[in-house]
Amino acid sequence: MLVVPSVDIMRGRCVQLVGGKPETERVYGEPVEIAQRWVAGGASYLHVVDLDAAMGTGDNFQKVAELISNVGARVEVGGGVRTLERANELFGAGADRVILGTAAVKNPELVKKLVKTAGGARVMVALDSRSDKVTIDGWRSRTEKTAARLAKEFERIGVGSLLYTRVDVEGSMRGVAAREIKKLVESVGIPVFASGGVGTLDDIRAVKETGAAGLVVGMGLYERKFTLRRAMEVAEG
């Protein structure tokens, strides 16, 4: 299983939020420097999110582009990707993979077009869930569709991978939603990455046992609950 450090950007700074709520932000420094630190520690892949773009309160595209060009690792980018133009701008900046969340759920045709032009391997769909239903619009609105149902729909479209986040434990370090992750992994044939609630090495072991292809880790790393090296050892062991 691949461990993917998260670099979330708000107002040009690297932050972590609890449950996606802006008022809970913890600031950890300059995004490019943080990203370089994770790569120096062994990360081969980074998960970058433009939180301002996701929430419709701003745009950190230039900072994201700067980060991509200054790290020796592949980078997937999400947050506010709502048009083909923005996706292509991110690809042009060097993003290895682009993540669509709200836009994918609201407009599957957009996903089809992006898969056709960029290739499914470069397209990831984020399924952010609360109480077994997928949420959209910066986690503020809940749909009536389950992650498993949407996962199958996007797999048929040709999406290359999925990112499952349990919203109510995101940033909490209170434990992962292993049962839900396993259910999703078993419902599709494409790689599933997981996120949310990681606070211990045992949480990493639990996600590994679900069969997930990767685990995005944020707060647990930033709050030094474990090192990136140990996390990688557990995931790869």
Give the separation between CA 27 and CA 3, rounded to whole angstroms. 22
145 pLDDT higher than 90: no
pLDDT for the residue 141: 66
pLDDT tens readout for residues 14-37: 999 887 788 888 999 999 999 999
Q: Which residues are known to be catalytic? A: 8, 128
Q: What is the largest CA-CA distance in the chain?
A: 42
Rounded mean pLDDT of the chain?
A: 93
pLDDT for the residue 19: 74
Give the separation between CA 107 and CA 216, rounded to whole angstroms. 25
171 pLDDT higher than 80: no
Nearest to 127, CA basis, from 107, 104, 98: 104
Give the separation between CA 187 and CA 106, rounded to whole angstroms. 22
pLDDT for the residue 126: 95
47 pLDDT higher than 70: yes
153 pLDDT higher than 80: yes
Domain boundaries along the sequence of the chain? 2-236
Mean pLDDT of 195-224: 97
Nearest to 187, CA basis, from 211, 165, 166, 216: 211
Give the separation between CA 22 and CA 33, rounded to whole angstroms. 22
pLDDT for the residue 173: 83
Q: Write down the pTM of the prediction.
A: 0.95
Give the separation between CA 46 and CA 94, rounded to whole angstroms. 13
pLDDT tens readout for residues 102-143: 999 999 999 999 999 999 999 999 998 887 788 887 666 676
Nearest to 166, CA basis, from 149, 151, 178, 152: 178
Confirm or reject CATH 3.20.20.70 for domain 2-236, answering yes or no. Answer: yes
Q: Which long-range contacts (CB under 8 A, 24 or more apart) does 152-156 make?
A: 152/187, 152/188, 153/108, 154/104, 154/108, 154/111, 154/125, 155/188, 155/189, 155/190
pLDDT for the residue 139: 63
